Amino acid sequence: MAVFAVLTLAFAFLSDWSAWAIGIGLGACAANELRGGTMLRRMESRGASILGWNQVFLAVLIVAYALWSLYSAINNPAMAKLMQGTGDPQIDAMAKELTTVVTWALYGTMAVVGLVVPGLTAIYYFTRRPLVAKFRRDTPRWVLEVIQRG
């Protein structure tokens, strides 16, 4: 995730403010992922919650980006100019319909996948917290100390 954050920010100067927002959001997700993962490796149950909420934030970020991109594509003046036509009404109508379908399919799929995958991952992490807490209760202290030392 950190790699995608850096790449997004590296190319953000070529784009609008949304690229900056996505890059910063991905950077925050990457930092939280590293922090939560470190906590979970030390068998701290709070790490699972941090990772779960991080996935929720990632889902919101992806869906917001998909919706913004859909809105931008539909309301793009360059696209409207492109759709002014070839002079043949049938070809113009078909091109407009095809462009609309592809745009909705692309960003709609991105929104659905961006909701489902991080959502399921968040559920997974949230269900790990009680398991880690149980592990900590049932495991001898010296074993936990060895795990926490790494």
Helix/strand number for the chain, H first, E second: 6, 0
pLDDT digits (tens, 9 = 90+) for 20-59: 899 999 999 999 999 999 999 999 999 999 999 999 999 9
- The number of folded domains in the chain is 1
Domain of residue 59 covers 2-149
Terminal Cα distance for the chain, rounded: 24
Q: What is the mean pLDDT of residues 79-84?
A: 64
Please tell me the least confidently modeled range out of 7-11, 43-47, 75-79.
75-79
Tell me the C-alpha distance between 24 and 43, whole Å: 29
Provide CB contacts within 8 A for 9, sequence distance 6+.
Answer: 19, 20, 23, 24, 27
As a whole number of angstroms, the distance between CA 90 and CA 68 comes to 30
Evaluate if residue 80 carries a pLDDT over 70: no
pLDDT tier, 75 (very low <50, low <70, confident <90, very high otherwise): confident
Let me know: does 107 contact 70? Beta carbons within 8 Å. yes
Are the C-beta atoms of residues 66 and 114 closer than 8 Å to each other? Answer: yes
SS3 content of the chain, % helix, strand, coil (to 5): 85, 0, 15
Q: Which of 131, 150, 147, 137 has its CA nearest to residue 48? A: 131
Confidence of residue 86 (pLDDT cuts 50, 70, 90): low
Res 19 pLDDT > 90: no
